[in-house]
Amino acid sequence: MDPAEYCKELVRKHDYEGFLTSHFYPANVKGGYFALKAFAVELAMVQDHVSNQTIGKMRMQFWRDAVKGIHDGKPPRHPIALALHQASQHANLPAYHLKRIVDARDAELSTPTHMTTESLTAHAESTSSSLLYLLLSLLSLPSSALSHAASHLGTAQTFATLLRALPFHAKQGHVIIPAEITAKHGVKQEDVLRYGPEAERISDAVFEFATVANDHLITAREMLKEEGMGGKVPARAMPIFLTGIIFYDLDDPGPLTLVNKRFYHFSQDPYVRAHYFLTHYGPTEAVFHALGRGKILTEQVLDDPLMGQFPLALAIEPRLLPYAVNNGFFMDSKYRDFVFRKMFERTSNDAQEVVHNVRELCRLDPTMFVSRTVAAEVCMEAKTNVSGYGALKILDKSGNLRFELA
């Protein structure tokens, strides 16, 4: 496979957000962009793809030698190394930053977790921030202010990525939140490894860790007020600083998607659209807002990323169904019992509201009905779910069930 295509496919498969961001880079540097991103991805995956530390360190030594070979004009016959060498012919890609990434990933093999926030920040600076420095070099953007901004943005990105992957790392036996933060909030390491994001008091530790990440993001934005930039990212640097700080912050990204072909192409990806709603409104509210924004909603968005949340949303508000149908959605009967079960579980509401929701959904979709299975479960929980049981009896007396309660 062509080295450039190899790098592009690797990034698409293992760093999809990075793949989407590529649409904003000028055509003449896309090869270099994918080479750098593939280099970062390759090194980041070593820890998860080797059976022991020794093999991992052998791979890291290969990449140290590769960086030297690229600098000397003698790259090894590895597609990523060849792509980096090609990119280095047209841009100054400091070997120092490439080697710094290798060294940081090598150290990670021995110490995958961090005792202090300072230690993890140094790691983020050596990995994510170094990659951003290389991207600034790729676009020929020598700027002290942009470099400082990239430093803090890289750290914020690392922290956010680690938080998103907390369940994964817990299964691998790693606690990614620095020990000084978990200890401060009384979080037991063994609880995190056993229960992941459900560990006792983990939410307080996550909040503090996320706050540190947000502080770095704020500092990055402050850096953009220097060198006459007026707090705005220069147009040429926009691709580097775009990730996660523009599209998802907008109340309505619709007009932005019409600015140029790159923004429009980016916005058409169903995962971008779904992620916008999930990020902006949270998992419960996402479907409500998505269904009211048909201009940036597609059937694929509903059927894939947001579909997992829709049955729950329908149980809360059955009147969403017509809007969903207008967006190309149809209700699969396999969700029927789940939806009605959730309606009866909502004990915070009185029985009349449950009755209203059941009747409304059955009216909107004649194929929907309360099954004997759901009714039996509600009856079994009559003492703990008084409103749900009361609603079931009302539905029985009014003839809204397809059977009679014994």
Residue with the larger pLDDT of the pair 284 and 187: 187
**319 neighbors 360 (Cβ within 8 angstroms):** yes
Residue with the larger pLDDT of the pair 289 and 321: 321
CA distance 81 to 101: 14
Dump pLDDT digits (tens) for 113-140: 899 999 999 999 999 999 999 999 999 9
**Residue 403, pLDDT above cutoff 60:** yes
- pLDDT bucket at 217, cuts 50 / 70 / 90: confident
Among 396, 371, 392, which residue's Cα sits nearest to residue 382?
392
CA distance 369 to 374: 10
Dump pLDDT digits (tens) for 221-257: 888 888 888 878 888 888 888 764 544 444 554 544 4
Mean pLDDT of the chain: 81
Q: What is the pLDDT of residue 248?
A: 44
Give me 288's structure tokens.
């409500």
Number of residues assigned to the chain: 406
Amino acid at 146: L
**CA 356, chain centre distance (Å):** 37
Q: What is the pLDDT of residue 8?
A: 94
Q: Average pLDDT for residues 373-397, to the nearest whole number? A: 89
CA distance 297 to 310: 14
Report the run of H or E that residue 374 belongs to, with start and end. helix 372-380
Dump pLDDT digits (tens) for 317-354: 676 666 666 655 566 677 788 888 888 886 556 788 88
- pLDDT bucket at 44, cuts 50 / 70 / 90: very high
Give me 218's structure tokens.
């704020």
**pTM greater than 0.75:** no
